[in-house]
Structure 1
């Protein structure tokens, strides 16, 4: 008898659950956009932006947070101006030769060599030719910073890899290497 009651109860629950489902009016969906997402064409106009534009531009005259403008142009004249006028903002405590050496070993040693003589691994394997020794060059901290920022000849820019502070540390370390040659 108990078994008949259990089967009847189970059958009643199943029928009541099945009767609640209606295909013409489906149940409530939590976050319906997750289930039926709206497709957008790439670079198309959208009502999400003002006036249906493709995107919004930053306010005129603003700069990125943490951005420091560099006033010298990527020209021979800009190089000469940086060589003559640009001075390091690092004080004696900020000139960490250990950190400058570590950055030099990561980014510069493969071409310029451990002592700055222009005999790095890539030069020895003849991948790059004509990397000058620091001893043969008339360089200042401003010219080094400018070259690391923009690149020169076969050397590319390192502005994306090194922050402004790190570029000054590298320039300081290169001058120390030059004094040891």
Structure 2
């Protein structure tokens, strides 16, 4: 039995060695991977219908993204102010995490106490940042979230920097700062 296995191994080795010819090129499996056709970037040859082939399908939603149904307008802001409530319940609110995010993204302008006296305001780089307790300024969880999502006046949007859950953590912390300033 062992001699039969030895004979088979020797035969396989001899067949493998005898098929190799240095004068002839080896076989290429999937030659398109070795010798692909060159295309110009965004050229018509790569995409017969233009660049549309790279755009996502109409109406598709990226993975992990939840669309915000309230529009970026004054009416949308007022709608969010009156109807939008936090997606987090009281057990999910983490004020320490909200504070950390607030200090990173908001404190530079709004101040770490929410009084509108951040470092950029003190250095007069940005002016007109209101305090959270200004008279006649009724801010709600919905209005804060809408402002973080779309931005308002000179403030830009933070929708790309903060995930939805993180935005709500910041909203909870801003409401805490507001209540602390009103005391």
Q: Smaller-chain TM-score range?
A: 0.7 to 0.9
Question: Is contact 1:46–1:53 with CA below 8 Å preserved after alignment?
Answer: no
Question: Is contact 1:97–1:172 with CA below 8 Å preserved after alignment?
Answer: yes
- Name the structure 1 match of 2:160: 160
Equivalent residue of 2:82, what SS?
helix
- Name the structure 1 match of 2:18: none
Deviations 1:54-76 (A, max 9, x none): 41654444322222121111111
| Cα shift at 1:45 | 3.4
Q: How does 1:17-32 map to 2 (within 5 A)?
A: 26=25, 28=27
TM-score (norm 1): 0.77
Measured in 2, the distance between the counterparts of 1:58 and 1:34 equals 26
Q: Which has the larger radius of gyration?
A: 1
Deviations 1:23-46 (A, max 9, x none): xx6555677556644210122234
- Name the structure 1 match of 2:100: 102
| Cα shift at 1:89 | 1.3
Measured in 1, the distance between the counterparts of 2:109 and 2:126 equals 8
TM-score (norm 2): 0.76
Q: 1:64 to 1:35 in 2, by over 3 A?
A: closer
Q: How does 1:49-64 map to 2 (within 5 A)?
A: 52-54=48-50, 55=53, 58-64=56-62
What RMSD in Å do the two structures reach over aligned CA positions?
Answer: 2.2
